[in-house]
Amino acid sequence: MRKVVVVGCGNVGMAYVSNLVSTKGLVKEIVLIDKDRDKILGDAMDLSHASVVYNNNVTIKAGTYKDCFNADIVVITAGFNQEKGQSRLDLISKNKRIIEDITREIMISGFDGIILVATNPVDVMCQVVKNVSNLNSNRVIGTGTMLDTDRIKYLLSQKIKVNTENIHAYVLGEHGDSSFAVWSRSTIGMVPIKETVSDEDLDIIETEARNLAYKIIKYKGYTNYGVGMCLHKLTKAILNDENVVLNVSSPVDGIYISMPSVIGKDGIKGTMKIEFTAEEELKFNNSKEVIKEAINSLEE
Ligand code: NAD
């Protein structure tokens, strides 16, 4: 069918949809859902005209939750974003209520596809979607640390002047302040990263990557293009059954947290087990605790 429904057509949702529309042959139908009906009526018209540029035969419309019933993928990008200085976890209670309502509506339609989640705090919101939808946990996927991983690759590439394609660096854990770089598994080409970049520079880059969202939000009030591209990459991986390994928010030990996972037509086909160093293990366990505490705070 190659049908995608996007719930929440603000900065993130529309950055994603605009990528979809410009990729020939990826999707046949895109349905927009948002509580602001006028905005999506306008966006659907605007994007329909944009699709003619590439002549890619995609139908775009403003729809309702009934449209989810035969969708391959529903992407949730609705909810509040961070204000200046706010952490992702600060959004937890108000976004939980929104995501619960949205997930119920999606499931009432008879939907049986894959749900991608970008709404923050994304690891916790994946758990909310999973609990309300009762979908198999491999069919609920969060963008997780995909974007953090791309940010760290960008910063390394700027520092050492090597193409990002040859920088194999990874950020795992919570998509939030406890995320961490897995330097022990990172390489430039085939060379271990620690043989090329000093520990001091790696520390600086890791901290900088963690703070980039705050920096962008300080300038423009939100971030959207990076995560829009990540959602596009995930959509492509699923619809084309690519079996590509991505650092997404995946079910691990009863919570959602980012680990490298194989993504294809059934969603998460498998999650890799990484042998961390003792220090990385501590950071991973800390991230797990942060997510667990956040989930527990919702149940109190
Ligand atoms: P935005 O305010 O621009 O868009 C949110 C949209 O959701 C709005 O159009 C709003 O009308 C809609 N909406 C709100 N409640 C709704 C409901 N109940 N039903 C339907 N639509 C509803 O916000 P944004 O900048 O697009 O951010 C969206 C989310 O994405 C935020 O939670 C933000 O933190 C998150 N985000 C995640 C990442 C990531 O890497 N995972 C990156 C950037 C932003």
Q: Do 3-142 and 146-299 agree at the fold level?
A: no
As given in the structure block, the two tokens for residue 232 are: 């596009």
- Distance CA(146)–CA(153), nearest Å, equals 11
Query: β-strand 114-117 against 73-76: which pairing, if any?
Result: parallel
Identify the residue whose C-alpha is closest to ligand 1 atom 34. Answer: 81
- Give the SS3 label for residue 185: helix
275 sits in which H/E element: none
| Ligand 1 closest atom vs CA 95 | 32
| Ligand 1 closest atom vs CA 82 | 34
Q: Where are the alpha helices (DSSP H) in the chain?
A: 11-21, 37-53, 92-108, 122-133, 146-160, 199-220, 225-239, 278-299
Max intra-chain CA distance, the chain? 55
Domain locations in the chain?
3-142, 146-299
- Distance CA(78)–CA(40), nearest Å, equals 13
Give residue 134 CA to ligand 1 midpoint distance, Å.
23
Question: Where does ligand 1 bind, in terms of residues with CB under 6 Å?
Answer: 7-13, 34-36, 77-82, 91, 95, 98, 101-102, 118-120, 122, 143, 147, 175, 222-224, 227
**Residue 185 confidence (pLDDT) above 90:** yes
Band of pLDDT at residue 300, cut at 50, 70 and 90: low
Query: β-strand 167-168 against 187-188: which pairing, if any?
Result: antiparallel
CA quadruple 118, 120, 121, 127: dihedral, nearest 10: -50
- If you ran DSSP here, which 8-state letter would residue 82 be given? P
**Residue 35 confidence (pLDDT) above 70:** yes
**Residue 1 confidence (pLDDT) above 80:** no
49 is catalytic: no
pLDDT at 222: 95
Closest C-alpha to 74, from 40, 30, 115: 115
Chain-wide mean pLDDT for the chain? Answer: 96
Specify the fold of 146-299.
Answer: L-2-Hydroxyisocaproate Dehydrogenase; Chain A, domain 2 (3.90.110)
Q: Model's pTM, two decimal places?
A: 0.97
Q: Which of 49, 168, 175, 232 is catalytic?
A: 175
pLDDT at 85: 82
- The model's pLDDT over 94-122, given as tens digits with 9 standing for 90+, comes to 999 999 999 999 999 999 999 999 999 99
Closest C-alpha to 182, from 258, 268, 96: 258
Residues 188 and 166 sit within 8 Å (Cβ to Cβ):
yes
Per-residue pLDDT, averaged over 21-28, amounts to: 94
Per-residue pLDDT, averaged over 154-181, amounts to: 97
Residue 254, judged by CB atoms within 10 A of its CB (0-12, 13-18, 19+), counts as: exposed
Among 12, 116, 175, the mutation site with the greatest number of ligand 1 atoms within 8 A of its Cβ is 12
- Distance CA(265)–CA(243), nearest Å, equals 8
- The model's pLDDT over 233-277, given as tens digits with 9 standing for 90+, comes to 999 999 999 999 999 999 999 999 999 999 999 999 999 999 999
pLDDT at 287: 98
Identify the residue whose C-alpha is closest to ligand 1 atom 33. Answer: 81
- Distance CA(76)–CA(72), nearest Å, equals 13
As given in the structure block, the two tokens for residue 42 are: 């306008």
| Ligand 1 closest atom vs CA 13 | 26
- Distance CA(98)–CA(173), nearest Å, equals 24
120 sits in which H/E element: none
Percentage above 70 pLDDT, the chain: 100
**Residue 152 confidence (pLDDT) above 70:** yes
Closest C-alpha to 295, from 76, 92, 134: 92
Tell how many helices (H) and how many strands (E) occur in the chain. Answer: 8, 14
Phi then psi dihedrals of residue 175, to 5 deg: -80, 85
Bridge partners of 30, per DSSP, are: 4, 60
182 vs 56, higher pLDDT: 182
Give residue 82 CA to ligand 1 midpoint distance, Å.
10
Q: Does domain 3-142 have CATH number 3.40.50.720?
A: yes
Per-residue pLDDT, averaged over 28-42, amounts to: 98
